Structure 1
C-alpha cells in the first residue's frame, strides 16, 4: 500500500511521498485561479469549482477565497452555499448533503497529527472522514474536527468547535460544541429569536 492509498484508507501516512505533493500543487493552481477570477465570470467560476471538487450538485456557490488540499475528496449536494474563507482539509473524505449553508470562516478538518511529539515528528499524519447531512446551517468561525458526523437539519452556532457527532434536528453551540435543544415545529414561524415572519410564503 503506497502513501496515497494509506491516506485514503485513514491510516498514518507521509504527505510528501508517492505523488501527494504534486497533487496538492496541481490543486493549489486551480484554487489560485478560482480565488482570483473576476467577479463577473460566473460561468467560469461555476465550471472551475465543479472541476476542483470530487462531486457536486447542479447548483453550487462558493464565495472566494476558498481553500482545500486535494478537492477530489470533497462531495457536496444540491444547492450548496459557502460564504467567504471556507477551508477544508480533505485528506480524508468530506461528504456534505443538500441545501448546506456555510457561514464565513468555517474550517472542516479531516487532517490530524499524533499527540506524542516523537510520533508527530516522524512525519506521519492521518485523515478521518467527516459527514454532514442535508439542510445543515453552520455558523461563522466554526471548526469541525476529524471523524465527526453531523445529522440532517442541524444548526451549529457561530464559533463552535465540533468534536463529537450531532444527531438530526438539533441546535448545537459552543467549544466543545454541545446540543442546546431540539428544533421544533414552533421554530417554523420565527426568522430570528422571538421575531416572527410578517409574510406567508416562508412555509
Structure 2
C-alpha cells in the first residue's frame, strides 16, 4: 500500500501539501480558527469550542488570544497555563509541544514545514515537516520566528523579533537574526 501524503507528513518524510485529504484537514482548521477569531471574548473563553476540540491537547488554563492561525490544530499540544498572545501563527505540519507556563508574545510564528530547496520540488508542493518543542516556563518575545525542528529548553527566553534556527538550551536567552545566546542583564 502506498503511503498517503498525510502519513508521509506524520512520518517526517517529503510529502506534497497539494493533496485533497490535507486540504480537507486545513479547511476544518480554518473553520475552527474562524470561530475562535470571530466569537466575542466572553463567549469564546480561553479557547473557542471548535478549536479546543481540534487541538492535540490543552492543559488547564491554556489561553489563545485572537486573532490566531494554525494549519491543522491536531498537532498542537499546549501545557497548563500556556498563553499565546494576539496574532500568533503556528503552521503545525508536525507536532508543536508548548510546555506549561510558557508565554508567547504577540505575532510569534512557529513554522514546522520546510519547502524543497529546488524550484521543481517547490512547484510540486513538496515539503517536509519537523516538530518544534518549547519547554516549561519559557518566554517567547513578540514577533519571534521559530523554524522547523527547533527545541527551546525550559526557562529559556527568546527576545522579541529573534529568528530561532537552532536549539536553545534551558535557561538561555537568545536574541537576533539568527538568534544567538546573550548574557542576561
Q: Would the TM-score normalized by the shorter structure come out above 0.5? A: yes
How many residues align? The count is: 183
Q: Which runs of 5+ in 2 are unaligned?
A: none
TM-score using structure 1 length: 0.86
Runs (4+) of structure 1 moved beyond 6 Å? none
C-alpha RMSD of matched pairs (Å):
1.5
Whole-angstrom CA distance in 1 between matches of 2:181 and 2:101:
21
Match of 2:53 in 1: 51
Structure 1 residue matching 2:57: 3-state secondary structure: coil
Equivalent position to 2:132, from 111, 130, 138 = 130
Distance 1:31 1:18 in 2: 20
Structure 1 residue 3 displacement after superposition: 0.7
Gaps of 5+ in 1: 184-192, 194-203
In 1: Cα distance, 2:157 partner to 2:126 partner: 34
SS in structure 2 at match of 1:11:
coil
**TM-score, normalisation: structure 2:** 0.94
Counterpart-to-counterpart distance in 2, 1:114 and 1:43: 39
Partner of 1:70: 72
Aligned match of 1:30: 32
Match of 1:106 in 2: 108
Q: 1:162 to 1:21 in 2, by over 3 A?
A: same
Aligned twin of 2:141: 139
Which entry has the higher C-alpha Rg, 1 or 2? Answer: 1
Q: Rate the CA distance shift 1:117–1:89 in 2: closer, same or farther, 3 A.
A: same
Task: After TM superposition, give the deviation of residue 16 of structure 1 in Å.
Answer: 2.8
Shift of 1:137: 0.3
Per-residue CA deviations over 1:13-50 (Å, capped at 9, x if unaligned) read 11132511111111111110110001221448454442
Find the counterpart in structure 2 of residue 9 from structure 1.
11
What is the alpha-carbon distance in structure 2 between the residues aligned to residue 142 and residue 102 of structure 1?
9
Cα deviation, 1:62-87, whole Å, max 9, x if unaligned, reads: 10000001100010100010110000
Q: Secondary structure of 1:67's partner? A: strand
1:96 partnered with 2:108: no
3-state DSSP class of the match of 1:19?
Answer: helix
Q: Pick from 165, 168, 172: which aligns with 1:166? A: 168
